[in-house]
Structure 1
């Protein structure tokens, strides 16, 4: 059975925290935050991250959450930003990431926003997913985070 997608709320903060920590441990070079930074965050930060602005979509299978992605929708901006995309190893290859990305893009389009995201250089699987859904590289690069040699590129939905 395919995992069920849910838009989560502050009440789901423990699931969000658990899955985000798992993502940071699995793919430490895919995100701007580090595992240590995330582990140090109090419950209030997790609740506020889960409550927006913009939806946070998670995929649940019978054992719990297996994938996530969020959409940051800043007030007064013409853009919406996809963030935090990650699929657990056991759920990869079944279209879960594509379903989450499509839900986030649909939400942004419903608001009349253009959609932007970042991908770390060398994360070819993520780049293929984004390009398959119409995202194109902008050539705009920046460091992944302070002190990192890795870079991220902004991709924009064409």
Structure 2
């Protein structure tokens, strides 16, 4: 990303956090407090090596933005397993939920994880209360590993760790 694309990224991220605050490990207040330099760094990370980002846009949508999925190489790697990638920053705008857009973005993400990042395993974390996401990922071949991690913004809550072989 170059130029002022960080402005668009900031607007999209703030919308994402306001709409689905438990889907991310960042609060809206924290995101709003970030400086221009921090947003520029985040925008640059979207196209960094070891990262693939898919953005869906539609000129008929209010701000043109429909959805986002990002796949990154996981660090650290578990050396006893195939190369791992993580699915992060998943979002579909409310007007496009149920349209099949999430499945299309996921298909592109799975393909990129395998072909561009060389991963054999795709992992993700889902907030325990996000039943819609849990059902979606299960329908698309992810399995619950049984691992639970404390949710960063509320350690009393858990993230379910899911994965899919590629």
- Smaller-chain TM-score range? 0.7 to 0.9
Question: Which position in structure 1 is the counterpart of 2:86?
Answer: 81
Q: Does 1:58 align with 2:55?
A: yes
Q: TM-score, length-normalised on structure 1?
A: 0.85
Question: Which position in structure 1 is the counterpart of 2:130?
Answer: 123
**Structure 2: runs of 5 or more not aligned:** 78-82
Q: TM-score, length-normalised on structure 2?
A: 0.81
2:118 to 69, 94, 112: 112
3-state SS in 2 of match to 1:33: coil
1:100 to 105, 112, 117: 105
1:93-146 deviations in whole A, cap 9, x for unaligned? 101111111111101111331110111102111111111110000011011115
3-state SS in 2 of match to 1:103: helix
**Structure 1: runs of 5 or more not aligned:** 1-8
Higher Cα radius of gyration: 2
**CA distance in structure 1 between the partners assigned to 2:156 and 2:2 by the alignment:** 34
Q: Which runs of 4+ in 1 moved over 4 A?
A: none
Number of residue pairs matched by the alignment: 150
Question: Which position in structure 2 is the counterpart of 1:91?
Answer: 96
Cα deviation, residue 16, structure 1: 2.3
Q: Indicate conservation of the 8 Å contact 1:19/1:67, yes or no.
A: no
